[in-house]
Structure 1
Amino acid sequence: MKIFDTRDALQQYLGTLSTKTVGFVPTMGALHRGHISLIEQAKAGNDVVVCSIFVNPTQFNDPADLDKYPRPIEADIAKLEAAGCDILFNPPVTEIYGSNENWHLNIGQLEFLLEGEFRPGHYQGVTQVVYKLLDIVKPTNLYMGQKDYQQFLVVSRMVQLLGIPVKMVMCPIEREADGLAMSSRNIHLTADDRKHSLVLSQTLNWLKDNFDIHNVFELEQQAMAMLQAEPGVQPEYIEVADGTTLLPADEHSTSIVALTAAKVGKTRLIDNVLIK
């Protein structure tokens, strides 16, 4: 695997591969099985796979959260090599951002719903960094995980608005054997937190199994009560939404997704399940 930390060196090398298709997996590191599944899907569909590891400061609302974000780069490199990744782009912040940059992209309501309500400004940071990375890598296909469902919709909207020539590919959630969605944040869970965290996937599956479009409000109320009843869990939202707009689902929704976020102990987790 080739490793680059400057855009010039990476672009120079990619220039020698101009006839090949490139699959790109942007990450913030602390890689787990979920990330590796994206690498595998990219490998299956492209000649060359590029992964980036960059802990993006502009998408963190809380400086403490940014400081404690895990950065096990040696372990990440070993995992990428084992997965057969071709190129790692691991730049310092100064390689991505200048001293006084401004960025604002109007992505409409998507920015302010669900995650956007609890993490104001988060999606401006996401679109800013993904735009920069796409401009550097210029991939054929971009692979992102379903676990960050809203992020996938936001980036898809940016790609559409700015006319970026890349195909978006959403990869399914990888879960632990007991159902917990894999996340870099899971390492912060205590043994008790880990037990209580299972209520997220259990509640989402309950919603899916009991889904009735004419009864969404009652289902959401019951699901919220299930989360609130679990010790150590502070739910922020659980909603049944239209899969393309994230507005409340109705009988006209062609795709439907249930999404939740909660603090389990001191760790904030998100999860979702596709209903339709």
Structure 2
Amino acid sequence: MLPVQHLREKIRETSPLIHNITNMVVTNFTANGLYALGASPVMAYAEEEVEDMARAAQALVLNIGTLTQTEVDAMLLAGKAANKAGTPVILDPVGVGATPFRTRTAKQLLSELDISIVRGNAGEIANLSENEVEMRGVDSTANLENKAETAKHTAETWNCVVALTGETDIVTDGTQTYTLTNGHPLQSKVTGAGCLLSAVTGAFAAVHDSPLEAAAAAVSFYGIAAEVAASKEENMGPGHFQIHFLDALHQVTSEQIERLSNN
């Protein structure tokens, strides 16, 4: 059984500082989601301060959604500082495979940094291995039948934990694998839902020594929160879901976690 409730409570008790170098589309949603969870978000991008901030943080989340070369340089500086400090680094390879720059950047970060966890959709994870698939903008057109094997291969290739998320979530270190099915379709209708999950994964990794268990617990909790949010209203649309989802990240009870958890 994953320690979902224990880690959630530990986040609330310690309020870990999560340093995000993320994309401009999701900054506000990510910060509010981390606050709702009980963590402390910081968004710091300047090369002049990212090393100091990464050393001070309990986790570093790198998101390549709206890349510039300046941002890539800052990510490398922050990542190396986090590695020296023993701070977990989470990578969200948004849209990898869509352009050569995006793909090259993701693989550079994985090559030059010690990445603890990679969180992405099926297409993104496939494009980090030898199984390249088509991307439309930053969205995947892939519906891989062999998602578990793809996730395992990517984890083995880059020596990290992979959280491949979608209708079914696969979290693996290449040896041990968790398959999780919590969540709700409305998550795919809210911009930044995946990006926030990567940040939430960072918060769980900040309070647990096992990147595999931390990632799986984060994905499980996130899916449960989505189900709780979607149950608040009939015929709910994306706008109301987003509001209820932020509330759920804050309000999900221990009973709901125990009842809805499928791990």
Which of the five TM-score ranges fits, normalised by the shorter chain? under 0.3
Say which structure, 1 or 2, has more relative contact order (CA 8 Å, 6+ apart): 2
User: Whose strand proportion is higher, 1 or 2?
Assistant: 1
User: Whose helix proportion is higher, 1 or 2?
Assistant: 2
TM-score (norm 2): 0.28
Larger Rg: 1
